[in-house]
Amino acid sequence: MNQGYILAVDAGTSSLKSVLFDENFVAVTQDRVEYNYEADGLSVQIHPDLVWQAFLKVTRNLEEKGYARKVELVVPCVFSPALIAMDAEGTPLFPAIIHWDRRSIKQARKAVRIIGKERFLQVAGNIPYPGGISLTSMLWLKEERPEVFARAAVLGHLNTFLLKKLVNRWIIDPTNASVTGLYNTVAASGWDEDLARDLGIPLEKLPSVMPSFEVAGKITEEASRITGLPSGVPVLVGSNDTSAAALGAGLFEHGRVLNISGSSEILVICLDRPLPDERYYLRTHPFPGRWLMYDIVIGGFALEWFRSQFCRELPPDTFYHAYLAEVLGGKKQGKVRCVPYLTGDRTSLIQKRASFSGLTLDTTREECLRALVEGIVGRMRRTLDMVSGRLTLCSTMVVTGGAGSALLEYKRRVFQDFKIELRENCSILGCLEIARRFFHQGR
């Protein structure tokens, strides 16, 4: 690459971030555009066009700065699952059903009855938990919105939608395919025809699976006109954002640990062999021969919920720094307990709800806030303790995301057997690592 730029894009649950890198992999400029999801009871969804419009705003800003026409490579990563049913032209027929969605609990239980937990774990590597595995959302569309399912040419994830827009091809990568429930994650061998047949999902509705570091295609003339990016520029397939973050955090070796602190708290561990378990999720690593296990619980969104409901008089900056530091200070655990399932439990077929217990007339909001944090971080601590019985964990835990100093100091106490290493923008750095792999192969 000579005098050109790499555009790394991270499409998250609530915003799209981008960083432009020069030929020496040095960041030149960055951008962020926010958007909103919709929540109504058990249904949580986002309109794909909001993400696309955010991408267009990023490229238009690059155009205004004089960079857009100098982009020579685009590398995306996306949050997942985000199931999108699209017609033959790539137009969404229904909002993207995202990972917090729980409307498909009935379909999840039905899928388990048909296939069985053991077979799901042996092949897909995961139990089809509602929302967390997009198969359940496919089945929900088939049963509850049959006209949408029938019209859908492709059932893909967010990167399928974006790549169709940019290069006019139907593609998904293995890290996204791993959480559909129809991909052979254990063998990393592609769509499993038997699972798809037994569950009534036509294989022709699924996009082609391509490695993260391969070229999905080149920007079309139409996409160039809309985005301002040059036509003919290669777009890599990219990966899921959690998997990209694992790359950016250096999770290449068995037992390395990452904590992503954002709207959710995600614990990620690199594996040199698949170790499926119904207590966590398994997905392929962006690079062959490795896997990632991860557990997820609501994080930042739970804290913001608490602030907006019980601490409205506190400005966000005060709440997340001085107030939270005061609440989490010291080592004594209170009598109040919190089960933090404000968006349900991502690893359960039971519709769990959040709750506080141990409340008395003299219970304070500070005790409740501390209990909420203890419930969230305690979930990750228990997962680490469980996994440590099956493999040797690295003594360093990389932490990335939006964890403020107060929450970070609390984590240092809870994870005192690990050396905490902070690293910013791991998902974007993961996109850069995918680009390096692409250039290393001389493509």
Write a three-state SS string for the chain.
Answer: CCCCEEEEEEECCCEEEEEEECCCCCEEEEEEEECCCEEECCEEEECHHHHHHHHHHHHHHHHHCCCHHHEEEEEEEECCCEEEEECCCCCECCCEEECCCCCCHHHHHHHHHHHCHHHHHHHCCCCCCECCECHHHHHHHHHHCHHHHHHCCEEECHHHHHHHHHHCCCEECHHHHCCCCCECCCCCCCECHHHHHHHCCCHHHCCEECCCCCEEEECCHHHHHHHCCCCCCEEECCEEHHHHHHHHCCCCCCCCEEEEECCEEEEEEEECCCCCCCCCEEEECCCCCCEEEEEEEECHHHHHHHHHHHCCCCCHHHHHHHHHHHHHCCCCCCCCEEECCECECCCCCCCCCCEEECCCCCCCHHHHHHHHHHHHHHHHHHHHHHHCCCCCCCCEEEEEECCCHHHHHHHHHHCCCCEEEECCCHHHHHHHHHHHHHHHCCC
Q: What pLDDT score was predicted for residue 346?
A: 86
Q: What pLDDT score was predicted for residue 251?
A: 97
In this chain, the answer to whether the domains covering 5-244+426-440 and 298-422 adopt an identical fold is yes
- The answer as to CATH 3.30.420.40 being correct for domain 5-244+426-440 is yes
Residues of the chain with pLDDT under 70: 1-3, 331-332, 403, 442-443
Q: What pLDDT score was predicted for residue 403?
A: 67
Q: What pLDDT score was predicted for residue 3?
A: 60
Domain 298-422 in this protein, CATH class? alpha beta
pTM: 0.94
Q: What pLDDT score was predicted for residue 404?
A: 75
Q: What pLDDT score was predicted for residue 22?
A: 96
Tell me what percent of the residues of the chain surpass a pLDDT of 90: 91
Domain locations in the chain as residue ranges: 5-244+426-440, 298-422
Q: What pLDDT score was predicted for residue 279?
A: 95
